[in-house]
Chains A and B, each alone.
Chain A
Amino acid sequence: MDFAGIIQNILNALQWGSFYSLIALGYCLVYGVLLLINFAHGDIFMVGAYISLFVATLLLGQFGGIPGMPGWLVLTLAVPLVMILTSCVGVTLERIAYRPLRRKGAHRLYVVITALMCGLILENGNLALFGASRRSFPTLVETHVFDVSGVAVTNIKLAVILVAIIAFLFLRFVVVKTKIGMAMRAISYDKFAVPLMGIPIDTVIVFTFVLGSGFAGLAGLMFAMTYPVLDPYMGAMIGWKAFIAAVVGGIGSIRGAFAGGFLLGFVEIMVVAFFPSTLRDLIAFSILLFILWLKPTGLYGVARRTKI
């Protein structure tokens, strides 16, 4: 393992961590506002990847508005489209599954189970409707490989890392600086006093889902461009792992989700670099358990004191 190899691994880890971070950000937003583990989030990411497949083939194919559109134009059109459509899926889930339960004031665990079941419905519904055959994603942008002194850097890799960082900064800006972000923080602070202050709680929650699902859709598009083979179960594993990353970072904290995603990416890639790849899950999860054992509320989490 020479110097170039280490840099190469760090780059790969950054890219892999970007996906985890993008998904973990969505987990963390919904959790921060609703205190609900949205287990369907990984599958929303999968839906996002499939939506980007349909959008891309639709724009590229003979149905395209302009036949023979260049790839970069398709990509620029696809990004907002995919984000909007995926947010629609997320908001639909919230409307039909979570909101009635919230209105009834059901036990938190029932909402969690409902979320888990919605995820199963999404992935198996996809499998049942479109079949088990893996679909390949069309090439939108030619992959350029820059060779910087023995380190292979592709333009897509750079784009993914950049998108993750921009998404993080944007979300941080929304939550910290804007009015609706203030409302989100207020809801997570005290759910009962907020409606009394005239804040439309449902609107804020829908907005949260729009943000989270939109970024999951963006992650799906990026993932499909990087690894152009889609299958219905791609979201399950990544979803679970991103959730674990969000918790290790300290759930409900945006910085934590971002850091946790990159941490998990680093651990996984480094384990594969130095050990046999079958040990990846084992060592990664052992390290995460160790971190949780040292810091029971995650890296950036705040311990909530229970009043007696």
Chain B
Amino acid sequence: MRKLTVPILLTMLLVGLGWISYNEDLNLYWQSVIMFMGINIMMSSSLNIVNGYMGEFACGHAGFMAVGAYVSSILSVWLFANDRVLGAAVLPPESSVFLFPVVLLIGGIVASFFGLLVAIPSFKTRGDYLAIITIAANYIVKSTIENVDAVGGARGFMGMGKVISAMEKVAEIPWMMIWVFVGTIFTIVIIRRFVTSTYGKGIIAINQDEIAAEIMSVNTNKMKIIAFMLSAGLAGMAGALFAHVLGYVNPGSFTIMKSTEALVMVYLGGMGSLTGSVLSAILFTVMMEGFRFVFPVLNDSLHYINLLPDGYDITQVWKWVLIPLLLVLLMQFRPEGIMGNRELSDIFPKLKRFYSFK
């Protein structure tokens, strides 16, 4: 029974999400917020491998996301949709239902090879020099995409919407919601199984002391390659889902700003805590979207009591003042983040009787 609780709960959650999306109990906006939650969970937990478990400072996560997004978008449009640039569909569009996960995986795999860009220099360089390499990799990926005119350059690339509608022709269910859910669970399970295995503990050993880990027969170079590639690959999958949810990608969405968002989520949740990553990604997405509704109300009420001058309105820009401010305050009073290197079962040990998640 203990083994079954988590799968049962997840199935219930998937069915529930699918049901409310199918019946349109939630409008499309809230559905997309839930999907972005899933994508953000993938982003933050995959960055947590390098920044949390391995203790390096990588801040170019959006670059890998861009690679995954573009590779999978081009692939899926080329395979399943009639496009002006890429020509007619290579495969029958109905087959996208089965082959879409393969497209996602290919996007992830190509992104993980881009992770080698960062992994190989990381043998010699550490700390701040590695931070530079990751930032530079982010810039290089973004400006490469901008300079390739075949995929639309800075104008962006579209046509993924046709693939989604081809899936919906097969069965009228919320496909994207399901794929995002599957991708999120896949990410969490992979990372959890990896870092709790004997093999994956080598990464945590590198975090504690690299030289000691090397002496205790952890192949640090190999471990670093694996960590960076896994992190980049999962980020690429997140990017692939991101592209298909929006139906449009452009290189402007994968700037340092996007990488900063992923960093914020990792440190908000706590380094080296999967539960923290998941919680902080959900919290972050809810905050980002929740402020949209709070600000107009706040603005009207402040104008009503004449606290604000007439010509000044509180706009959505304040969102990016408040979120960093919250994070700065969090760092002052609870520097280890929400969970701080602990999982759910460490905080509530009695819960272990009811579930096992390995």
Contact = CB atoms under 8 A, between A and B. Distances in A.
The reply to whether chain A is a binding partner of chain B is yes
Interface of A: 31, 37, 97, 100-101, 104, 106-107, 109-110, 112-114, 116-118, 120-121, 124-125, 127-128, 132, 236, 240, 243-244, 247-248, 251, 278-282, 285-286, 288-289, 292-293, 296-298, 306, 308
A286 B335 contact: no
Of A116, A127, A280, which is in contact with the most chain B CB atoms at under 10 Å from its CB?
A116
Contacts of B165: none
B146 interface: yes
B267 interface: yes
Nearest to B117: A289
A266 B113 CA distance: 31
A281 to B, nearest CB: 4
B23 interface: no
Contacts of A100: 332
Contacts of A118: 324, 328
Nearest to A118: B328
A243 B59 CA distance: 13
B136 A285 contact: yes
Contacts of B146: 278
A288 B136 contact: yes
Contacts of A117: 264, 324-325, 327-328, 331
Contact of B317 (A110, A127, A251, A306): A127
Nearest to B136: A285
Given A116-B263, A278-B146, A279-B147, 8 more contacts: A97-B328, A109-B55, A109-B267, A114-B327, A117-B331, A120-B320, A296-B124, A296-B125
29 contacts: A101-B335, A106-B331, A107-B271, A110-B267, A113-B263, A113-B264, A114-B331, A116-B260, A117-B325, A120-B321, A121-B324, A124-B324, A125-B321, A132-B317, A240-B256, A243-B132, A244-B135, A247-B129, A280-B143, A281-B139, A282-B143, A282-B147, A285-B140, A286-B140, A288-B132, A289-B133, A289-B140, A292-B125, A292-B133
B27 to A, nearest CB: 29
Contact of B147 (A113, A116, A120, A278): A278
Contacts of B144: 282
A202 to B, nearest CB: 17
Interface residues of B, number: 42
B211 interface: yes
A132 B317 CA distance: 10
Contact of B318 (A128, A247, A248): A128
A132 B316 CA distance: 12
Contacts of A124: 317-318, 320-321, 324
Contacts, number: 118
Main secondary structure of the interface of B (DSSP, over half): helix
A236 B260 CA distance: 12
B128 interface: yes
Given A247-B128, A298-B129, A120 B324 contact: yes
B57 interface: yes
A308 B214 CA distance: 12
Given A247-B128, A292-B133, A104 B260 contact: no
Contacts of A106: 331, 335
Interface in B135-170: 135-137, 139-140, 142-144, 146-147, 154
A293 B121 contact: yes
Contacts of A112: 57
B57 A110 contact: no
B331 A121 contact: no
A31 B128 CA distance: 10
Contact of A113 (B137, B211, B267, B314): B267
A250 B321 CA distance: 33
A101 B332 contact: yes
A281 B135 CA distance: 12
Nearest to B153: A278
A113 B331 contact: yes
Given A117-B324, A118-B324, A121-B324, A128 B317 contact: yes
A120 B132 contact: no
Interface in B303-358: 314-315, 317-318, 320-321, 324-325, 327-328, 331-332, 335
Contacts of A121: 321, 324-325, 328
B335 A110 contact: yes
Contacts of A306: 211
Contacts of B267: 109-110, 113
B121 to A, nearest CB: 6
B131 interface: yes
A100 B330 CA distance: 12
A285 B318 CA distance: 32
B154 to A, nearest CB: 8
